Amino acid sequence: MKYIDMTSTPSPLTLFINQICSLNAELVDMYPEDLDIRVCKNTIDTVKKLNPKMIVETFYNHVYAYKPQIIAKDEAFFIDMNYNKLIKDDNMSVVSNLKKYWSSMSVETKECMWQYFGVLIVLCEKCKGITPNESR
């Protein structure tokens, strides 16, 4: 029988935070001149130290409702959506930062962004105790 050390398994919250931080770091590397993206990264880095659950809650409240569009990789919805009405704290708005550059991204980069958001959806569900087929 193999012993599994559960203390070394990261929690869904830790995995979610790591994923969103990785996404932000990638965006900063891609667009180092964009102050909004850097502010977003710094805000998330600060909030993760003070209240990491707030990051999951913000994602859940402002992004998770669009799981069907994210899973379907619906570019038209992504581009046409008015995020200003949804996201009150622009300092944590990864989505609105992405929207600025979407049309100039390569197909491979867009696919990478969809994958990030797909993983964030799954991790958000785990953090919130939502079964994948459960509706909001």
134 lies in a domain?
no
Instruction: Please tell me the distance from the alpha carbon of residue 119 to that of residue 116, in angstroms, as a whole number.
Output: 5
Over the stretch 28-66, which tens digit does the pLDDT of each residue have? 999 999 988 898 889 999 999 999 999 999 899 888 988
Domain containing residue 115? 10-128
Write the pLDDT tens digit of every residue in 52-103.
999 999 899 888 988 999 999 999 887 887 766 655 555 456 677 788 899 8
| 50 within a domain of the structure (yes/no) | yes
Structural domain contains residue 5: no
The verdict on residue 61 lying in a domain is yes
In a domain, 136, yes or no: no
Q: 123: buried, middle or exposed (CB in 10 Å: 19+, 13-18, 0-12)? A: buried
Two tokens, residue 48: 């993760």
Q: DSSP assignment of 47-86, as one string? A: HHHH-HHHHHHHHHHHTGGGHHHHHTT-HHHHHH--GGGT
Domain count, the chain: 1
* Residue 32: DSSP 8-state: T
pTM of the model: 0.84
d(CA 38, CA 27): 9
Q: Is residue 15 part of a domain?
A: yes
